């Protein structure tokens, strides 16, 4: 199902980087564990914010995920 989602973001003249980003996005969205639902929702939000630019959507998703993980790690006592 997700291949249909990410392929809609690619048009004629898409770059190899965009194709690679779509493959990574597909692998995240195709991963079945329910504990990834929040991750997938964030990724869908990034895809909606960057239509026709999957590489920017993936970058935004990775940056947001990094901020969340860093914030969680700051809350854990050393």
pLDDT digits (tens, 9 = 90+) for 51-64: 889 999 999 999 99
pLDDT value for 72: 84
Class of residue 53 by CB neighbours under 10 A (exposed 0-12, middle 13-18, buried 19+): middle
**Torsion region of 48: left, alpha or beta (phi above 0 gives left; psi -120 to 50 gives alpha):** alpha
Cβ atoms of 45 and 29 within 8 Å: the answer is: no
Number of compact structural domains in the chain: 1
Residue 77: per-residue pLDDT: 57
pLDDT at residue 2, as a whole number: 61
Task: Determine the Cα angle at 37 with ends 35 and 42, to 5°.
Answer: 130
Tell me which residues of the chain have a pLDDT lower than 70.
1-11, 75-78
- Look up residue 13 and give its two tokens: 């003249």
Q: Domain range holding 29? A: 2-75
């Amino acid at each position: 199902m997700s291949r249909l989602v990410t392929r809609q973001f690619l048009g004629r003249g898409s770059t190899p980087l965009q194709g690679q980003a779509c493959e990574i996005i597909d692998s995240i969205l195709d991963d079945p564990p329910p504990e990834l639902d929040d991750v997938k929702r964030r990724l869908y939000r990034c895809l909606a914010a960057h239509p026709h630019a999957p590489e920017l959507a993936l970058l935004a998703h990775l940056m947001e995920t990094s901020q969340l993980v860093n914030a969680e790690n700051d809350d854990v006592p050393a």
